[in-house]
């Protein structure tokens, strides 16, 4: 079997209402899908996380010419070759995001070639469904932020979610008002994580964390800049006595990047995004690191149905470390903001019952994007 083509498809949806987080406003959602075609007619699909145009150039102009003609089953060889060829100027960011989308597509293709889901290739599914937490509660224009966030959080709880994640990063007073309003709306038993998207210095993050901890925080995500591992360590040391876990890693990539988070032990929860950290190939390596260092994985997921399907395959196969009579938790991040690329690309997917999302059991990723389905959003 040989690869005959590597194609990219940029999808775009213009939002009815823009929303913001600590760094910028979204007015549209985009996704870059990667399709690998083999000479026997099989195709595999993947998705890159990050800027679609830049990632498209990496996949089309850097990865494509180097892998056409190669055997798509030699995924590890292809991964290392592309990583080594871009090491001098890559290592994370768009180069690894491009490699990630290609890697996911190769695993999808491999699963289809063998007639098994990717979870089987990753070691075997431990579960057939995964609990999702609702990501939402972004900032909107027009004031009354706290009451709007509270209403949105209550809506997710009404939908059956038992855990939610909200944005912070507006400054101490506004963030605290929002967190308190959301906690009042969801009651004491729903898990509540906060996500700053690296908006704070360590000092400011600790200040917010100490005040917000009394509301009961599941975790505090990306409190400081991804480069600031000392800051992460300071935040973790200050908030650990308050029972607040620190999460990070969605901007990090490969075993090398996550090695540093593990060795420094500056986070409790590692959050690799399969579309940014190096695909399933790197995901397995990062899972091994997490297990060896005794840290938990909470994969980051933000994208189309393809990214969600990849996350489900990965989560289902995550090893139990340390293992117990009552299985450990595995959580799917399920963005709930307006995005038809996630909810309408594949009819009937994701299949959710309350907070539980079914792991697709068909070959590969278990979903099959079709060009005619992509058409409404194709750029």
Which residues bind to Ca ion, rule: CB under 5 A? Answer: 195
**Whether residue 300 lies in the annotated active site:** yes
CB of residue 221 to Ca ion, shortest distance in Å: 5
Contact 253, 96 (CB under 8 A): yes
**Closer to Ca ion by Cβ: residue 195 or 296:** 195
Measured distance CA(371)–CA(314) in Å, rounded: 25
**Closer to Ca ion by Cβ: residue 47 or 195:** 195
CA atoms within 13 A on the CB side of 132: 29
Helices (H), the chain: 52-57, 64-67, 75-86, 94-114, 118-121, 145-158, 172-186, 202-213, 229-239, 254-264, 274-277, 279-293, 305-317, 340-343, 371-374
CA 154, 127, 156: angle at the middle one, nearest 5?
Answer: 5
Tokens of 167: 């944005």
CB of residue 21 to Ca ion, shortest distance in Å: 8
Measured distance CA(238)–CA(233) in Å, rounded: 9
Measured distance CA(205)–CA(355) in Å, rounded: 30
**Closer to Ca ion by Cβ: residue 152 or 195:** 195
CB of residue 197 to Ca ion, shortest distance in Å: 6
**Closer to Ca ion by Cβ: residue 194 or 229:** 194
Of all residues in this chain, which one has the CB nearest to Ca ion in the complex?
Answer: 195
CB of residue 300 to Ca ion, shortest distance in Å: 6
Measured distance CA(51)–CA(368) in Å, rounded: 23
Choice among 13, 155, 211, 300 that is catalytic: 300
CB of residue 165 to Ca ion, shortest distance in Å: 8
Q: Per DSSP, what are the bridge partners of residue 219? A: 245
**Closer to Ca ion by Cβ: residue 269 or 305:** 269
**Closer to Ca ion by Cβ: residue 49 or 377:** 49
- Identify whether 126 is preceded by a cis peptide bond (ω within 30 of 0): no
CA-based radius of gyration for the chain: 20
Measured distance CA(89)–CA(98) in Å, rounded: 14
Measured distance CA(353)–CA(108) in Å, rounded: 25
CB of residue 311 to Ca ion, shortest distance in Å: 14
Torsion angle in degrees (nearest 10) through CA of 20, 21, 24, 30: -70
Q: Which are the catalytic amino acids? A: 300
């Amino acid at each position: 079997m040989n690869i005959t083509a590597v194609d990219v498809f940029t999808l775009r949806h213009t939002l009815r209402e823009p929303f913001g987080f600590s760094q910028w406003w979204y007015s549209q959602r985009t996704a870059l899908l990667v399709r690998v075609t083999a000479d026997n007619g099989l195709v595999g699909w993947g998705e890159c996380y990050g800027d679609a145009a830049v990632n498209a150039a990496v996949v089309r102009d850097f990865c494509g010419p180097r892998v056409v003609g190669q055997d798509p089953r030699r995924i590890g060889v292809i991964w290392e070759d592309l990583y080594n060829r871009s090491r001098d100027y890559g290592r994370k960011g768009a180069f690894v995001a491009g490699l990630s989308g290609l890697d996911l597509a190769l695993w999808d293709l491999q699963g289809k070639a063998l007639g098994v889901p990717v979870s089987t290739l990753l070691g075997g599914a431990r579960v057939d469904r995964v609990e999702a937490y609702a990501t939402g509660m972004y900032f909107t224009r027009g004031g009354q932020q706290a009451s709007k966030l509270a209403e949105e959080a209550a809506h997710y709880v009404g939908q059956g979610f038992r855990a939610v994640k909200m944005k912070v990063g507006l400054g101490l007073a506004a963030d605290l008002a929002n967190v308190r309003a959301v906690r009042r709306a969801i009651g004491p038993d729903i898990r509540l994580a906060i996500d700053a998207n690296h908006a704070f210095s360590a000092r400011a993050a600790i200040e917010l964390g100490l005040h917000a901890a009394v509301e009961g925080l599941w975790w505090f995500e990306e409190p400081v800049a991804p480069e600031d591992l000392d800051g992460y360590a300071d935040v973790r040391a200050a908030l650990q006595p308050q029972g607040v876990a620190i999460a990070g890693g969605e901007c990090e990539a490969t075993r090398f990047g996550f090695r540093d988070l593990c060795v420094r032990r500056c986070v409790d929860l590692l959050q690799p995004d399969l579309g940014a950290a190096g695909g399933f190939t790197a995901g397995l390596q990062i899972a091994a690191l997490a297990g060896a260092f005794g840290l938990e994985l909470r994969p980051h997921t933000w994208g189309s149905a393809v990214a969600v399907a990849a996350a489900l395959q990965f989560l289902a196969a995550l090893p139990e470390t340390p293992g117990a009579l009552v299985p450990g938790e595995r959580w799917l991040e399920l963005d709930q903001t307006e995005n038809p690329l996630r909810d309408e690309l594949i009819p009937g997917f994701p299949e959710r019952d309350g907070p539980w999302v079914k792991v697709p059991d068909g070959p590969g990723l278990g979903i099959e994007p079709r060009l005619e389905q992509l058409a409404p959003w194709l750029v």
